[in-house]
């Protein structure tokens, strides 16, 4: 089927360009053993956010939704020696796993994991950041976007996971707050005069979803 082919090609790309090393494999295993939902970004998506951070020379990154710290390691590895990554996670059990993973990855100097609500923690931060990665509750995305704009420098990037939701954003059901949030977020991105943005539709081992990439205009 098409789905099987998409998954096979995704696996091919991931193993060619983004094979998990021992640290990332342990991160996945640690999260699984702790019973975390297995919804972290794929290795290829990790490589993409890593590359985006490197391409803009990011020194200060903010992540909303740490989960077990898998994407956190990818982003942390994109930073220079004096770089900084703040990652916010609501769930205390997730925070415990993520801190272990960050330590195992040798990134403790650069990465701070804050236990708290994404919006509250964003409100408490001060500019400026180079990149904000959104991967938390999708119903919060429109509010996160406003804060991300406040926190980012000109030329900075917003990257957001899960903005297609198997096409649910086309006609979001009233009972799917994630789809409603993602659709509102996409609309806000598209119509914001301060941003230039695109959504990449993605198919593969994470099903059918999408990644938004937006740049704060100069
Ligand atoms: C879900 C959340 C994610 O961040 C993801 O990448 C996949 C699924 C979810 O909440 O279902
Ligand atoms: Mg996600």
Per residue in 142-182, pLDDT tens? 999 999 999 999 999 999 999 999 999 999 999 999 999 99
Q: Give CA–CA dist 165/182, Å, rounded.
A: 8
Q: Ligand 1 in contact with 135 (CB < 6 A)?
A: yes
Token pair of 48 as six digits: 């993409």
Q: Give CA–CA dist 173/127, Å, rounded.
A: 36
Q: Ligand 1 in contact with 90 (CB < 6 A)?
A: no
* ipTM of this complex: 0.96
Which option is the CATH number for 2-216: 3.30.465.10, 3.40.50.150, 3.40.50.300, 3.40.50.720?
3.40.50.150
Q: Ligand 1 in contact with 63 (CB < 6 A)?
A: no
Please tell me the predicted confidence (pLDDT) of residue 84.
98
23-52 per-position pLDDT tens digit: 999 999 999 999 999 999 999 999 999 999
- Residue 115: how many CB atoms within 10 A of its CB? 16
3-class DSSP state of 6: helix
Domain chopping of the chain, boundaries: 2-216
Nearest residue (CA) to ligand 1, atom 8:
39
3-class DSSP state of 36: coil
180-203 per-position pLDDT tens digit: 999 999 999 999 999 999 999 999
Please tell me the predicted confidence (pLDDT) of residue 121.
98
């Amino acid at each position: 089927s098409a789905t099987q082919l998409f998954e096979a090609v995704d696996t091919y790309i991931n193993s060619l360009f983004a094979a998990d090393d021992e640290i990332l494999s342990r991160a996945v295993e640690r999260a699984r053993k702790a019973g975390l939902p297995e919804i972290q970004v794929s290795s290829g998506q990790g490589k993409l956010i890593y590359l985006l951070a490197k391409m803009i020379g990011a020194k200060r990154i903010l992540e909303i939704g740490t989960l077990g710290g898998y994407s956190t390691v990818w982003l942390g590895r994109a930073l220079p020696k004096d770089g900084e990554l703040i990652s916010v996670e609501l769930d205390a059990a997730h925070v415990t796993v993520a801190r272990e993973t960050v330590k195992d990855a040798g990134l403790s100097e650069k990465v701070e994991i804050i236990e708290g609500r994404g919006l509250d923690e964003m409100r408490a931060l001060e500019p400026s950041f180079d990149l904000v990665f959104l991967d938390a509750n999708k119903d919060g995305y429109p509010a996160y976007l406003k804060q991300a704009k406040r926190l980012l420098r000109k030329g900075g990037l917003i990257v957001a996971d899960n903005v297609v939701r198997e096409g649910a954003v086309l006609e979001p059901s009233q009972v799917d707050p994630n789809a409603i949030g993602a659709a509102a977020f996409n609309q806000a991105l598209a119509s914001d005069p301060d941003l230039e943005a695109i959504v990449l539709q993605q198919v593969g081992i994470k099903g059918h979803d999408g990644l938004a990439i937006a740049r704060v205009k100069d």
